[in-house]
Chains A and B, each alone.
Chain A
């Protein structure tokens, strides 16, 4: 009888220690950001992954010559007139605008209800390439919604600053700014290290 009690006590103590080790271990792993393989034990799988609070997209553009020579490139001298309120697109809509790699990302891509873009209205001063209306909207991949902040390498367009715009259109018609080079009074564009006239020659 005494032996049985001893055995049960020992068993309970061991089980308690195992549970304690799992709980403490998982907390330490969570705090230190240690990788948890998907095939790990059930106890570890129950950890809630840290909530994503921001994202940034970086694009490595085609070389300038190839970019402006592309038949889908939209090129104009523009003047941004207004930065508008952030627009929220659904994750599905974002997926139709550009491929979102979902492998391994599904668990936290669901953390937010939408993805922010900031529309900028621009007035066209001179069309250099493409079918461009007098006024249109560009969407910068940038903005904040409910604690989720998105940034990107898209140029930041300030109202009143005239510049050369190279833009591209997503399949759904949304236009993305790719390059925006402010133009000085003498026509020089420091960002591209060339004048507007030289750029026109390059386009021909």
Chain B
């Protein structure tokens, strides 16, 4: 009887240990958030005049997707948000990048500013068409904005395919559960 109860205890301990190891392995191998927060609980964004008007909706929708899961929100502004936010623009990244985001910090844990730059001269071109329409080779602004605004939350690209922060371009239609949980946990 004593042995049986001991075995149950050991099995339970092993199960808990294995669960912890799995969780730790997943998160240690694939870190996601780098440790800086918008401590006001929101970030403002300005769409630069270089962004063609037809893509503004895509950017606003992407910002709204990140805002929906939690008290955190992206708020559009027409002024440069010098303290709590950043801007999105069409520019000239090196030839190997579709888009890139620079994020700036202050202190050890505070976000200061971000700049998302889409490649204005992308050979295959941008489109505002949804994933199921248009040419596959054309890149959609919405999923790229979704991914880049994830960087504006201090998330990094990961090899997990169940997040919009996957390292390579994919045509997302919205956030994954992991993304929702991440924002929800942080804010």
Do the two chains belong together in a single complex? yes
Report whether B95 and A34 are in contact in the complex, using a CB–CB cutoff of 8 Å.
no
Q: Tell me which of A36, A58, A70, A98 contacts B156 (CB under 8 A).
A: A58
A200 at interface (Cβ–Cβ under 8 A)? no
Of residues 66 through 80 on chain A, the ones whose CB sits less than 8 Å from some CB of chain B are 67, 70, 72-73
A105 to B83, CA, bound (A): 11
Is B131 in the interface zone, CB < 8 Å from A?
no
Q: Does any Cβ of B come within 8 Å of A107's Cβ?
A: yes
- Per-residue CB proximity of B69-101 to A under 8 Å, as 1/0? 000000001011111111101011111111111
A50 CB to nearest chain B CB (Å) = 4
- Give B170's nearest chain A residue, CB to CB: A63
Q: Which residues of A contact B84 (CB under 8 A)?
A: 33-35
Q: Which of B11-19, B52-60, B112-120, B179-187 contacts A (4 or more CB under 8 A)?
A: B112-120
Given contacts A34-B84, A50-B110, A53-B107, contact A59 B34 (CB under 8 A): no
Cross-chain contact of A55 among B85, B104, B159 (Cβ < 8 A)? B104
Question: Separation in Å of the A87 CB from the closest CB of chain B?
Answer: 18
- Does A108 sit at the interface, judged by CB under 8 A? yes
A187 within 8 A of B: no
In the complex, which residue of chain B has the Cβ closest to the Cβ of A153?
B157
Chain A interfacial residues counted at CB < 8 A: 44
Q: Closest CB-CB distance, B18 to chain A, in whole Å?
A: 23
A62 within 8 A of B: yes
Given B82, B85, B89, which contacts A101 in the complex, CB threshold below 8 Å?
B89
B151 touches A37 (CB 8 A): no
Q: Do B115 and A101 touch (CB < 8 A)? A: yes
Q: Which of B120-174 contact A (CB under 8 A)?
A: 144, 147-148, 151, 154, 156-157, 159, 167-169
**Residue-wise interface mask of A (23-51) relative to B, using a CB-CB cutoff of 8 A (1 in contact, 0 not):** 00000000011111111000000000111
One of B79, B83, B103 near A56 (C-beta < 8 A): B103
CA of A51 to CA of B104 in the docked complex: distance in angstroms?
Answer: 10
Contact B96 A70 (CB under 8 A): yes
Q: A33-B39, A59-B100, A61-B97 are in contact. Are A49 and B82 (CB under 8 A)?
A: yes
B116, chain A: closest CB distance, angstroms = 9
Q: B187 to nearest A CB, angstroms? A: 14
B99 contacts A60, C-beta separation under 8 Å: yes
Q: Is B40 among interface residues, defined by CB-CB distance under 8 A?
A: yes
29 contacts between A and B (CB under 8 A): A33-B39, A33-B110, A35-B44, A35-B82, A39-B79, A50-B107, A50-B112, A53-B107, A55-B102, A56-B102, A56-B105, A58-B100, A58-B102, A58-B103, A58-B156, A59-B100, A61-B96, A61-B168, A62-B97, A63-B169, A67-B96, A70-B96, A103-B80, A103-B89, A105-B104, A107-B82, A108-B113, A168-B94, A170-B94
